[in-house]
């Protein structure tokens, strides 16, 4: 390839939906170093779990750092999950401290996997219950991971979104 061409078509912000799976529930994980395409196959009887986040609060940050051991890629996924409730707290308790792989879809239809079998994502969370009635009541989730390679992409057959004529 060698060239980074100008994108033509829509380029929407925002992330949704988000799915996750425990590392031990993954049968196969493949990653192609040349294309960055990745596949994650759950074990028989296991499946991806969904995670609801308040729209427009889901944020992904990625950073490259050059270290003496080589380049590393840091990913942080922040999500707000509304309302203090037992089912959410129970699921967060089950996920915290465990090795996770996240499947993230953005509004352009791009799907990426955060986490690998060797370097999974980890979850930390906190409950936010501010004193004002009209502010957010719920959980702030932070998934974080550090990897030797960029997060993998799911190969989409034509790997494009229809061009609407706008260039953004």
Average pLDDT over residues 114-133: 90
Residue 166 lies in a domain: no
Pairwise CA distance, residues 23 & 117, whole Å: 6
Tell which residue, 28, 24, 23, has the closest CA to residue 41.
28
Residue 82 lies in a domain: yes
Q: Cα–Cα distances in Å, from 39 out to 31, 75, 93, 99?
A: 7, 19, 27, 17
Residue 37 lies in a domain: yes
pTM (2 d.p.): 0.82
Query: φ and ψ at 111, to 5 degrees?
Result: -115, 130
User: Domain containing 108: what range?
Assistant: 15-153
Residue 126 lies in a domain: yes
Mean pLDDT of the chain: 85
The string of pLDDT tens digits covering residues 25-71 is: 999 999 999 999 999 999 999 999 999 888 888 899 999 999 998 99
Residue 9 lies in a domain: no
Residue 159 lies in a domain: no
Residue 6 lies in a domain: no
């Amino acid at each position: 390839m060698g060239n980074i061409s100008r994108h033509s078509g829509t380029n929407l912000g925002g992330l949704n939906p988000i799915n996750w799976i425990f590392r031990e529930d993954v049968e196969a994980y493949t990653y192609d170093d040349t294309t960055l395409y990745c596949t994650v196959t759950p074990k028989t009887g296991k499946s991806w779990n969904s995670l609801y986040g308040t729209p427009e609060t889901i944020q992904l940050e990625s950073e490259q750092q050059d270290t003496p051991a080589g380049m590393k890629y840091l990913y942080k996924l922040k999500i707000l999950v509304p309302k203090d409730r037992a089912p959410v707290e129970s699921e967060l308790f089950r996920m915290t401290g465990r090795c996770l792989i996240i499947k993230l879809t953005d509004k352009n239809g791009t799907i990426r996997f955060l986490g690998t079998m060797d370097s999974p994502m980890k979850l930390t969370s906190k409950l936010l219950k501010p004193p004002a009635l009209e502010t957010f009541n719920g959980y702030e989730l932070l998934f974080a991971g550090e990897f030797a390679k960029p997060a993998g992409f799911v190969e989409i057959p034509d790997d494009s979104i229809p061009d609407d004529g706008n260039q953004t």
